[in-house]
Amino acid sequence: MSKLKTIREFQNLTQEELAEKSGVSVRTIQRIETGKVPKGYTLKVLAKALAIKENELLFEKLGKDNSEYVEEINETQEIVLINFTKLKLINLSSIPFIIIPPFNIIIPLFLMFKMKQKNILSKQLISIQILWTIVAPIIFMLGIFLKLGNQFTLLIMVLIVLSNIFIILRNAIEIDKRKKLYYNLNFSMI
């Protein structure tokens, strides 16, 4: 199955709807889906209509699930399978363990390996949790050392937990909508 067909079906578009949205004929879309490589203007308008990068149409899909895509990693030129449904599950698995910080890292890490989702996005999700787990106690301790009272300390604890919930939920929404992370790091801790 071609990459175009995979993305088109994932976005719940028919060939006719994609043709109307992109201005490319249905016959051209059929040719691309049967193996012809899109080039030039056709590649550009199809990518724009599907809200993806042009080079994403040039790689074949692996697997049978429509929620799986291929990601090319430039450093090693290896192809990695990303299942966004599983990625979202890895992300959301941190929520029950926010108040027990080591588990908000261990559980997603375990799921990443169990679900075979060792890709840049799942590593970013876990790196964000690691960074949050390091920064949260520092902020909490600073609040205690400022000696602003018990109510302020409780407020800091609540804000720290809510901030992590917000980060997790915002990334989950972005994974659903745009197949990327809203909050990501320029480095990976794993």
List where CATH 1.10.260.40 sits in the chain: 3-58
- ∠ at Cα 189 (119, 175), nearest 5°? 45
The phi and psi torsions of 72 (rounded to 5 degrees) equal -100, 130
* 83: three-class secondary structure by DSSP: strand
pLDDT tens track for 138-173: 999 998 888 888 888 899 999 999 999 999 999 999
CA-wise closest residue to 29 among 55, 52, 62, 7: 7
pTM greater than the 0.75 cutoff: no
Q: Using 50, 70 and 90 to split pLDDT, how confident is the model at 33?
A: confident
Task: Report the alpha-carbon distance of residue 18 to residue 52 in Å, rounded.
Answer: 13
Answer with the residue of higher pLDDT: 127 or 79.
Answer: 127
Range 132-142 average pLDDT: 92
| Whether pLDDT at 113 is above 60 | yes
Task: Report the alpha-carbon distance of residue 37 to residue 17 in Å, rounded.
Answer: 20
pLDDT for the residue numbered 80: 53
Q: Which helix (H) or strand (E) holds 41?
A: helix 40-50
pLDDT for the residue numbered 1: 56
Q: Among 38-47, 61-70, 90-99, 121-130, which stretch is predicted with the lowest mean pLDDT?
A: 61-70
Percent of the chain with pLDDT over 90: 40
pLDDT for the residue numbered 12: 82
pLDDT for the residue numbered 34: 86
Answer with the residue of higher pLDDT: 69 or 154.
Answer: 154
pLDDT tens track for 79-107: 456 788 899 999 999 999 888 888 999 99
Range 101-124 average pLDDT: 90
pLDDT for the residue numbered 3: 82
Task: Report the alpha-carbon distance of residue 185 to residue 183 in Å, rounded.
Answer: 7
Between the two ends of the chain, the Cα-to-Cα distance in Å is: 33
**Which CATH architecture does the domain made up of 3-58 adopt?**
Orthogonal Bundle (1.10)
| Whether pLDDT at 77 is above 60 | no
Beta bridge partners of 181: none
